[in-house]
Amino acid sequence: MPDSMAKANVTQLFLLASSGDPQAQYDLALKHTKGEDGIPLDFEAAANFLQRAARAGHLDASFVLGALFQKGKDVRQDVEKAMDCCRLAAERGHIAAQFNLGYCYETGDGVDSDLDEAATWHKLAADQGDADAKTALDEVTPAKLEAQQRATALYPSMRAKLIAAKTGRKVA
pLDDT of residue 2: 47
Instruction: Give the three-class secondary structure for 108.
Output: coil
Taking the whole predicted model, whether its pTM rises above 0.85 is answered as no
Q: Express each pLDDT in 40-87 by its tens digit.
A: 999 999 999 999 999 999 999 999 999 999 988 778 899 999 999 999
Which pLDDT band, with edges at 50, 70 and 90, does 165 fall under? low
pLDDT of residue 72: 87
In this predicted structure, the answer to whether residue 153 has a pLDDT above a threshold of 90 is no
Q: Express each pLDDT in 89-147 by its tens digit.
A: 999 999 999 999 999 998 888 899 888 899 999 999 999 999 999 998 888 766 666 76
CB 31 within 8 A of CB 23: no
Nearest alpha carbon to residue 103 among 79, 119, 126, 80: 119
Which CATH number describes the domain made up of 1-92? 1.25.40.10
pLDDT of residue 50: 97
Rounded to whole angstroms, the Cα distance separating 132 from 128 reads 11
Angle at 100 between CA 97 and CA 104, to 5 degrees: 135
CA of residue 38 relative to chain centroid, distance: 28
Q: Domain spans of the chain?
A: 1-92, 93-140, 142-172
Rounded to whole angstroms, the Cα distance separating 166 from 161 reads 9
More confident residue, 126 or 5: 126
CB 59 within 8 A of CB 92: yes
